[in-house]
Amino acid sequence: MSALTHEKPDLLGMLPEEIDALFRARGLASYRSVQVVEWLFQHGARSFDDMTNVPKSLRSECAEHYSVTDLKILKVQVSQADRTRKFLLGLSDGAMVETVVLPEGKRSTACISTQVGCAFGCPFCASGKDGLARNLSVGEIVDQARRARFHPDIGNLTNIVLMGMGEPLANYEATAKATRIFLHERGFALGKRRVTISTAGYLPGLEKLAEDDLPVRLALSLHATDNATRNRLMPINKKYPIERVLEACNHLLLSRRTPLTIEYMLIEGHNDSLGEARRLAGICQSLRAKVNLIPWNPISSSRFRSPSEERILRFQAELRKAGVLAFIRRSRGADIDAACGQLRASSTTKKA
């Protein structure tokens, strides 16, 4: 289930060194590729015509042989509660994805999608309601961050989290390469602690990450501490049970020292008991992980409910009593359906 292929190589989906090599192969001076890379990643050029200090002849040559992904902004919604912005972005084949930008004063975090839809169908999450249409290309992932970085109403982009629509580790190669562009000093030049990849526990991707040298943070969407409960909430657990996922995370921690955060969505009557909190504390202690507690965010046609504030605080207190760093991640952008688990975009492409 691959991303849309481009007839021309997409420069936005390439590392700076790869663009350098392309230009050398065409016999162009090295500083020309440096200029183009700067325009793409440091100035947000959306076409070769935007690159005003590059000779017109070279711009024409680039346009003839290469492309630059340019996602179309179809709609922007701004939360009246906290100024969170949600972008509905159009892809070249008519598919759509959503990207969220969370402002923090003069700084901001972009929550990036990696797939059109999601294959795993967690009943508490809107992203999988229509299933999976396709993976996003490297350029389509990177351009979401560029849209945030160069939007006039958004502050300095300081963090990227790949936890929008889709499972990033199920689109591993594109996710990993986009991440390298975010980290690259000639790309987005973000620090390794500024990029986080989220996973629902996709074991093949976790195993690839353990073999890779990608220096990023990892967030595991756990949401339950036993297989029976997790099977109901996260169907992926039926194929990759919790024990195997936690073992893979432990291996990753030992081999790479990758910082781990456990994302735990609290759903009333399903996973919010004190016994669940104690089991979660044991998991966190074994993995030296911190926890983000996320009160469930409403989606249409769902039977779930968020626990009361009292139950949420009791759950957090139980974790802290065991020495676990536990934070409550309050909803951002819930009034525009931009909070965790609420992203959803339709597609005119058929599912692969």
Residue 64 burial by CB count (10 A; 0-12/13-18/19+): exposed, middle or buried? Answer: exposed
Token pair 């936005």 is found at: 12
The pair of structure tokens assigned to 277 is 């909190």
Residue 35 has phi, psi (to 5 degrees) of: -60, -45
Catalytic position from the list 118, 125, 249, 340: 340
98 is catalytic: yes
Extract the tokens encoding 46.
């959306």
Catalytic residue among 62, 98, 125, 276: 98
Query: Which three-class secondary structure string do you get for the chain?
Result: CCCCCCCCCEHHHCCHHHHHHHHHHCCCCHHHHHHHHHHHHHCCCCCHHHCCCCCHHHHHHHHHHCECCCCEEEEEEECCCCCCEEEEEECCCCCEEEEEEEEECCEEEEECCCEEECCCCCCCCCCCCCCEEEECCHHHHHHHHHHHHCCCCCCEEEEEEECCCCCHHHHHHHHHHHHHHHHCCCCCCCCHHHEEEEECCCHHHHHHHHHCCCCCEEEEECCCCCHHHHHHHCHHHHCCCHHHHHHHHHHHHHHHCCCEEEEEEECCCCCCCHHHHHHHHHHHHHHCCEEEEEECCCCCCCCCCCCCHHHHHHHHHHHHHCCCCEEECCCCCHHHCCCCCCCCCCCCCCCC
Residue 313 has φ and ψ, to the nearest 5°, of: -70, -35
From residue 273, give the alpha-carbon distance in Å to each of 177, 212, 237: 40, 37, 20
Catalytic positions, written as ranges: 98, 340
